[in-house]
Structures are given as structure tokens and as C-alpha cells.
Structure 1
Amino acid sequence: MLMTLCENGTHGLIGAVFGPASKGETDYAHDLIGHLTSDMLVLADRAFDSNRLLVDIAAQGAQFLIRATSVRRPPVLALLPDGSYLTRIGDLSWRVIEAEVRSRTADGGVFGGTYRLLTTLTDHSNDPADHLVHLYHERWEIQIAYLALRHTLLQGRVLLPKDPVGLTQEMWALLTLYQALRSVMVTRWRRHPAAIPTEPLSPSLWKPPATRSSAQPDPAPPLSRSPVATWWDASARASSRRCFPAVGCGCPPAS
């Protein structure tokens, strides 16, 4: 199991841990808490709503916006004008936002459900409920990082080593390559800030020279949509000076 803390805009990895699936997602998430800082807002799915994990995130000084499981029924202590309400779990005051989310598929079908979001952003005037509901959607940006790791870079291949030491070495090599590509792509955009964003920046648009035929020229990296611009746009929708790492897990294929 691979667990990462991923910056939503650049899709760069703030931290990563991996190991046997028997350890569990929440335990791996705890291993990443030390990477959190006070200027971060953590987005995560309902698998990460344990009291201990949330308290530890808050203890790092970070804020969080995390979906609660359906069985969690926090007490309503105070109703807020935007429809959210304040609650208390342990010694912490939290805010709860409930929303009906519906999506329409290409064939006209509709699916969705009730989302109950827990957050430490308790001031409804600075962070209205509808803004945070839209912001929570940014959590899915982490899936683009896993798409790049599992499919774009590995191209359907499995990790070859059959021993723990070899798997560890190859996994870190894969993560290092991914991080290097992200760093170069962001640096490239920063050198051309006047470029107009058009589409998401993906490693599939810019393969390293080793993956191309030697007969092909080495084209300049495309100037496509900037993940940094996405980051700052998202920050502006909620509150300035925040970055949005998302916690997520994935399992690159192993032989």
C-alpha cells in the first residue's frame, strides 16, 4: 500500500510512505502527519475521519476539511447562518457541513448522496459552507497523481522485484522520477508566466528522452495549464496563504 500527502495544485508529493496492506490506511496516514504545517488545509475522504487522526492533524497546526463516515452523528451545538453547525469532539470545536451532492453521467444518469464534512474552519463568514463544499471537490486531484504513477510512468508494467528490499528500492525510484518530473514542469511554467493555461499538465505530454526514439527531435516541454495556477486559484476561493494537500492511498501493481 502506498500512502501519500499530495499538493493539490502542482500534484507534487509532500510525503510518501508504503508497506504491507495489513498496516491499514489510517496508520500510514499518521506517519505523514509530521509533514503538515500551519499554512496547510488537509483534504481527505471518509476513511480518514478517526478522532485520533483528526486531533493529531489539528495538533500540527494544520486545518482540515474531511468527509465523515455515514455512522458519525456529531451533536449540534450551534446552528450557523449558512446551514452548517458547530460541534465538539473531545476538547476540539469543529464545524459540520452537510450537503447533497449529485452528478449527471454522459448517458443522462444521476447518482450522488449526502456528504457530511468535518472542518476546523469554524468561521462561516470567512469560509462559507458552499465554498468549502466546492473546495472539497479538489480532493480528487490526488487521483491524477496516482494516474501518473500507476499508468503514465509504469505504462502498465508491474514492479519487478520479488523481495521487500528490491520493492522498496524500485518504489523510491518511481517516486523520485515522478517528483523530478513535477518539479521540472512547474519550473518550466514559472519561467513563462505569460503563457495562457489551456489544459492540465501531465507527464504523458512530456516523456523523458529515454522513452523516445533517438531519431526523434527533443521538443521543448509544452506550455499547458499550470498546476501552480490551479493551486493559487483554489486558494483564492477559500482563504489566502493556504495550500491544500490531499491524503490518499494507492497500490502500484507488483508482480
Structure 2
Amino acid sequence: MARFSEHKLARRLLASLRGDMLLLADRNFAGYQLWGLARATGAHLAWRIKKNLVFVPLRVLSDGSYLSIMRTPAENIRHGQARAAGRTLTEPPRGHLVRIIEYTVTIHPQAGPPRTETFRLVTSLLDHRLAPAHQLARAYHQRWEIENGFAELKNRLRGAGFILRSKAPELIYQEIYALLTVYQALCALQTRAAEHGGTDPDRISFTVTVQLARLAVAAQAAADVTTLAAARREATTELLAALLPPRRNRQCQRIKKPSKNTFEVRKRDQTRTPSNVRYTLKVTKHPT
């Protein structure tokens, strides 16, 4: 797997995108070619971008965001050479028309002073009336939910002490795909239950979902269409009856043990700071 970069691996997932999706990605992925391939699927994009990338405003919108061009690689070289020579290019650059949103996230921890971090998003949603900047900023903030998804897949679905049984690489791939398939099915069940109850999917307990699925499998719930539909309705009712409390904002300290890591090393007797925090998102209005 080390032979492949994240960009190459990401391209394998593009076929799964649909026109009714909004794809979030971190700042490692924003680039002219990959952006074009992802947009060609019909899905809309909202990706974080690095602070050193230059996007010249074409038109500032009323919500503080602005339209710009994600330039082609050739245009980047041409404009870079012009800046180095002190020349100003008058013609518009070639590339993707995009919208830039800049905002800050202020974290108010239970202990210690608040800290503020600046974010920049590039999005294909150009109409600020249909997709206001503050809504897209909050949507990107949800990208961190994937960390909970990793924990569900690696720990809660497999169970304590579970390891892959297969010895051959092909069979290991088969086991991994089986786990991913089951996880996707459980997430679909959670989402349908949340839609039925008019609640946020993150309030549906994954642990309870796994327990109900195991009971349904043991009871041969998929024996026929009628039995499966009844089992699904029963599971939906039980999931909505066991809702989790509303998700609280949290932070996780970047303290790791490897010596080569730049983060502070956590000692065994060191207590962690409280993880509960309060977030404030504020869109930065670009000057007109």
C-alpha cells in the first residue's frame, strides 16, 4: 500500500460519487486535476486549502466569500514567473471557477485560554444564497465525524480481541471487504432510522445497532422479504428508543508516544485536560 499516494487512492473512490453528494476533503487534496475529476462526477465539493495558495478575488459576495479561479498548472507557472519579474497579467487565468470561504474557529476549553485557528475552504457551490458561507463552514466541521467512524469500524464492529483469521493476502482482502460491507449496511440502517425519527444520525447508537443486527441474523431475519421488512421496522423502533444524548463538542490533545513525532510526549502519570469544549465559527468577510 505504501506504493500509492493518497491522491491515487482517492481517485479510486470517485466512481462512488453521485450528483446529490457534497464531498468534503482536507487540505492535502486540493489541486486542479483531482478537483476536475471529482467535479466531473456531478458531486459538489467543499475542500480545505492551504494558507499559502493564492486565489485572486474576482467578485466578493455578500456573505464574505468570493469567487476566484483554481488555475491550471501551466497558469500557476506563468503567473509565478510574472510575479517574480514584477509584471502584472491583465487577462483572466484559465482554470476552474470556484468560491473561497475564509473563517476562524475559536476553541473555548474548560481549562486554559481560548485559541483560534484560521480555515480556508474552496467549494464548487458558487451561489452564496443557496449555500451560505457559515453553513458550509459548519458542514466542513462535521468532517471530523469520520474519526468516530474509524473507531466503530476498527473496534466496535469487530469486538474485543478480534483479529483477521486469513493467512493469504487474497483472503485478507476478502475479510476486510466483508467488514466494510457490513459496516456500510449498518450505517444505512442507522441513517434510515434517523430519517424515520427526524433526528440526527449521530444520535443513533452504533453499539445498539450492532447488537440488533446480530440478533436479527441469528433469528434468520433475511429468510424472506416479509420477515426482513418486519425486522427492519422493529430495529428502527428500538434504535429510536435508545437514542444517545445530543453530541457534545470535544477536543483530543495531540500527544503521542513516538519519538519522531513533533507533538509533546504523554507521560503515564500525566492527566489529560478536559476534552469538553465550546466552538465558535466566524466567517471572515473579504474586503471588497
TM-score, normalised by the number of residues in structure 1: 0.68
Q: How many residues align?
A: 201
Closer, same or farther: CA 22–70 of 1 in aligned 2, 3 Å: farther
Matched, 1:24 2:5: yes
Q: Distance in 2 between matches of 1:165 and 1:200?
A: 36
The Cα of 1:153 is off from its aligned counterpart by: 1.2
1:181 maps onto 2:186 in alignment: yes
1:186 to 1:82, Cα distance in 2 relative to 1, 3 A: closer
Matched, 1:167 2:172: yes
Which structure is higher in RCO with an 8 Å CA cutoff and minimum separation 6?
1
Give yes or no for the alignment of 1:200 onto 2:190: no
**Greater percentage in strand:** 1
1:146 and 2:166 matched:
no
SS at match of 2:98: strand
Q: For the aligned residues, what is the CA RMSD?
A: 3.0
The answer to whether the 8 Å contact 2:194/2:200 transfers is: no
Question: Deviation string for 1:3-50 (max 9, x for gaps)?
Answer: xxxxxxxxxxxxxxxxx1331211111111112122211111112212
Match of 2:57 in 1: 76
Distance 2:153 2:56 in 1: 41
Map Cα deviations across residues 66-91 of structure 1 (whole Å, 9 max, x no partner): 10123322222222222211111243
Superposed counterparts of 1:51-90, under 5 Å:
51-89=32-70, 90=72
Identical-pair percentage? 32
**Which 4+ runs in 1 deviate beyond 6 A?**
195-199, 209-212
Unaligned runs of 5+ in 2: 73-94, 219-233, 245-288
Counterparts of 2:163 and 2:115 in 1: how far apart (Å)? 34
| AA at the equivalent of 1:99 | Y
Q: Deviations over 1:212-255 (max 9, x none)?
A: 8x9xxxx96332459xxxxxxxxxxxxxxxxxxxxxxxxxxxxx
CA deviation string 1:149-196 (max 9, x = no partner): 011112354434343212201101111221232334445556xx4587
In the alignment, is the contact (CA less than 8 A) between 2:205 and 2:243 conserved in 1?
A: no
Q: Which residue of 2 aligns with 1:248?
A: none
TM superposition shift of 1:198: 10
Alignment match of 2:22 (pick from 14, 17, 41): 41
Report what 1:222 is aligned to.
239
- Alignment TM-score, normalising by the size of structure 2: 0.60
